[in-house]
Homo-oligomer: A and B are copies of this chain.
Amino acid sequence: MHSFTEENYLKTIYYLATRQQGEVTTNALAEMTATKAASVTDMLRKLADKQLIHYRKYQGVRLTSEGERLALKIIRRHRLWEVFLVDKLGFGWDEVHDMAEELEHIRSDELVERLDKFLEHPQFDPHGDPIPTTAGAMPQTGYRKLSEVAAGESVCVMGVLEHSPEFLQHLNRTGLTLGCSITLREINAFDKSLLVQIQPESTLFVSHDVARNLLVEGE
């Protein structure tokens, strides 16, 4: 079996690999896991011994297919528990990350599959992230960032790239929650901020920082 800590490294390597290209660096991992580079190096050697990552000294790291399988399993658990916490226990989407971070390490495949069934096989977590399948596939979505949408387009808010409580609470306050339909009225050339109309009639400014962390779906 794999330790709590090993599972977190695998998940973090997966996460970083999807946002960068090439191999994941020691420093990036140290920052994400809030440890020091030397500690990361220790763990990388251990994961490489277990054939969960491809590791070449000084060159960075990449998951093996077994490592990716495990990472997706952890992510599946995390996202299913988040659905449980929000849909069944009534938590807000800004409150569930830390709890899911613990729940994702409960070791029982049967538990996960029963939870999935209990939740009626959700496809997305409360932040709009797709839930990997039992078979270990990550469903692809065609979402774009709001910051890449052209003026005049109407789109639907489908997810977020930033999961911090601060960001999510800001969205709560402005009404930019999942599923809401918006039309992009203007793009400010100076600071790239957006004038957005939320259906049916409220209008608000959205900073570029917010817009590039909001995922939206076509017209």
Task: Report which A residues bind B (CB closer than 8 A).
Answer: 85, 88-91, 98-99, 102-103, 105-108, 110-111, 114-115, 118
Contacts and interface: CB of A to CB of B under 8 A. Distances in A.
A111 B88 contact: no
18 contacts: A85-B111, A88-B118, A89-B111, A89-B114, A89-B115, A89-B118, A90-B114, A91-B110, A91-B114, A98-B108, A99-B106, A99-B108, A99-B111, A102-B105, A102-B106, A102-B107, A103-B103, A103-B106
A108 B105 CA distance: 15
Contacts of A107: 102
Nearest to A88: B118
A93 to B, nearest CB: 15
A87 to B, nearest CB: 11
Contacts of A102: 105-107
The 10 tightest CB contacts between A and B, nearest first, are A89-B114, A102-B106, A99-B108, A89-B118, A99-B111, A88-B118, A103-B106, A90-B114, A89-B115, A99-B106
A99 B99 CA distance: 16
A88 B88 CA distance: 11
Contacts of A88: 118
Contacts of A105: 102
A114 B90 CA distance: 8
A88 to B, nearest CB: 6
A110 B85 CA distance: 11
A198 to B, nearest CB: 30
Contacts of A98: 108
A66 to B, nearest CB: 23
Contacts of A108: 98-99
A85 B114 CA distance: 9
A118 B90 CA distance: 9
